[in-house]
Amino acid sequence: MTYDPNKHHRRSIRLRGHDYSGGGVYFITICAQDKKCLFGRVAEGEMILNEAGRTIQRVWEDLPQRFPTVVLDVFQLMPNHLHGILVIPGAGLEPALALATGAPIVQPSPKAAGTASQGTASQGTASRGTASRGTASRGTASRTPTMGGVIGAFKSIATIEVNRIQSCVGRRLLQENFYEHIIRSVDSLEKIRAYIRQNPVHWCDDPENPDRPPGNQPETEWGWL
C-alpha cells in the first residue's frame, strides 16, 4: 500500500457533515511545494533529516504547546512529504480511539447535546484515558481547536521557521492543500501507524520519490483505510 499522489496531494478531502470541531483522529499527509526533496534523504531504509527537516519535526512536536488539548501520535517526515496522526479530543472522539492514543475522553454536556443538532461544537468534561501515550492537557475541554486550524498553524510556523534559517523570504515551503483521512477504528489506526512507520523502508517504491525506478507501479488502492 502506498500513497497515491494523483488522489492525495491535490486537495483536502472533507467529509460532508463531519463536525471538525467536535473531536476526532486524523491521518494527515502534506507535500513539499512542487514535491521538491527539501527535508533530508533516505539511506538504508532510514530517514536522515537535514536542518529544514529537523525544524519541521520540532514545529510538529511543539503543536501541543500552542494547542494544549491536541494529542500527537505517529509522525514521519520524508524527503518531500510528511505523514502524521493528529488527535483532537472532543465529544466526537470514540472512547476506544481516545484510549488507544492517550487522549482524554470527553463526555457531551447536556447543553452541548441539546445544541449538537444545530451544528454547535460539542463541549464537555475530559476524563483521562488509561493509555500512557499522549500530550493533551487533562481537565475541562472548554475550547476545542479544529483540525484545519491546527494544520494551518503548523504549516505557517514551519514555513516561517525554515525560511528564516535558510534566509528565504516569502517562499512557499508546503503545498497549500493536503490530504486528510478520518480514522474511525482502532484497527484502522494500527494499520495507518504501521504504514507511516514503514514509509522510509519503502521509499524506493514511493510515487513521490523522483528517483523511483521506471516501471515500478505502486499500489494505489486505499480501501484498507
71, 135 contact by CB (below 8 A): yes
Which segment of 162-166, 187-191, 206-210 scores lowest on mean pLDDT?
206-210
pLDDT bucket at 214, cuts 50 / 70 / 90: confident
**Residue 179 and residue 12 in contact, taking contact as beta carbons nearer than 8 Å:** yes
Strand order in 105-108's β-sheet? Answer: 105-108, 124-127, 140-141
Q: Give domain 5-205's CATH number out of 3.30.70.1290, 3.10.20.590, 3.40.50.11540, 3.40.50.1000.
A: 3.30.70.1290
- What is the Cα–Cα distance from 220 to 224, expressed in whole angstroms? 11
- List Cβ neighbours of 40 (8 Å cut-off, separation of 6 or more): 47, 48, 49, 50, 52, 53, 77, 79
Work out the number of other CB atoms within 10 angstroms of the CB of residue 160. 11
Query: pLDDT tens digits for 69-117?
Result: 999 999 999 999 999 999 999 998 999 999 999 999 988 766 554 544 4
